[in-house]
Structures are given as C-alpha cells and as structure tokens.
Amino acid sequence: MMYDKTVVALLDRPSPESFGMVGILIKYEDKYETLGLTENKFITQREFERLGGHILEVYSTLDNNLINPAALWIGNEFYSKATNLKAPQLPDTKDWNTPLHPHMSTGKYSFLETKQAYKNLDEWTTEAAREALLRNNYDLAKLTAWALPFSSASKAAIYFTTPTPEKQKQELKLYMRIDQKTEKELKEELEKTKEVLLR
C-alpha cells in the first residue's frame, strides 16, 4: 500500500545565501525517514526533535513517483546577488515551495531526483564560473562557492579572479589543505580547468 509522504524538514538548514541540493526528512504514518542522502535512514520522533536548529521546517507533499528525491534550494540572498551580478539564469522559482513561518522569506525549494538536482546545480556553477573568468569578476566567482564550493570550476574561477597575489596564495593554501595536493599539482589542475571553461 502506498502512503502519502509529507516532507517536514530540509536537512542541514540551508542558508539564504546559498544555492544547493539538500537532503529532506519525510513523515508517513508515524515514521520519519531521510531521503536524498548517500545513506538514507529512519529516525525516531525523539531524534527528530533533537535536530532543532540543524533543520529548516517545511510542510510539503512529496510526489510518490520520485525514487530518491532531494530538495534543490535557492536562498533569497543568493538570488538577489545573482541578479545584481547578472549571473547566468537560475531556475524559475515561481511555483516552488517556501519554508514554514518564521523562515518563509529565506528561500525557496523544489523536489527533484538527486541526479537531476545535482545536474542543475553543476551546470549553473560551470556556466557562472566561465562568466566570472570571461568578465574577470571576483564577486561572481565567489558566488559559485555558495553553490558548489569544491567544484573544480568554482575553485578555478575564484583563483584566477582573486584581486591580489596575497589573497590568491591564501586560496591556494586552502585548496592544498582540502585536496591534499602539492602547489604544483594544484596550479596545473587549476590551469587545465580554466582552459576547459574558456574553450
């Protein structure tokens, strides 16, 4: 028997400044289950209550045809910055859902299969990174880090548009820590990514 599934929370409390894919928490009958994660699991009512400030409470019905959905989230501040920076077009959020009071004005979300949600996010980030490089626009490059911070496109855009050599060195050190690579390896990788983006 198929039960109606209600989404009661977005996990990891997405920020008004971000554009991203987040896991969701659904409720059906008296069960809670996470979806959109690498490992989904059931949680108890008590565990749900303990999540507190780590979730964004919502109330939306979930299409039963979706197999492993996630929420694609666009924060209102992110949307505003993207518009001001003339960033590549974001998805149309006119019919998207909003969180419950008092967080209704923080952003909007829509449910998609995880692969499709990631594809949308990756395509926008790649396009925005390319634009940032072409326009030498550091602010637009930094905006990509609020979508996919560790993507090669985002890192290359930020590195090559960073306004000062000192800040560029800081970015490189950060990537070296995250990627566990040498300076030479990283510089080669960033150059290669830049070439691909600008083809």
Domain ranges of the chain: 5-197
Query: What local confidence, expressed as pLDDT, does residue 151 receive?
Result: 95
The CA-CA-CA angle for residues 146, 61, 67, to 5°, reads 75
Query: What local confidence, expressed as pLDDT, does residue 3 receive?
Result: 52
pLDDT at position 198 over 50: yes
pLDDT at position 2 over 80: no
Query: pTM score > 0.75 for this model?
Result: yes
Dist. CA 88–CA 83, nearest whole Å: 9
- Residue 99 CB partners (closer than 8 Å, separation 6+): 10, 56, 57, 58, 106, 107, 109
- Residue 172 CB partners (closer than 8 Å, separation 6+): 159, 183, 186, 187
Query: What local confidence, expressed as pLDDT, does residue 14 receive?
Result: 97
* Average confidence (pLDDT) over 124-128: 98
Which residue, 95, 55, 85, 78, is CA-closest to 148? 78
* Average confidence (pLDDT) over 5-16: 95
Convert the pLDDT of each residue in 135-188 to its tens digit: 999 999 999 999 999 899 999 999 999 999 999 999 999 998 888 889 999 999
Band of pLDDT at residue 1, cut at 50, 70 and 90? very low
Convert the pLDDT of each residue in 65-112 to its tens digit: 898 899 999 999 999 999 999 999 999 999 999 999 999 999 999 999
Query: What local confidence, expressed as pLDDT, does residue 185 receive?
Result: 94
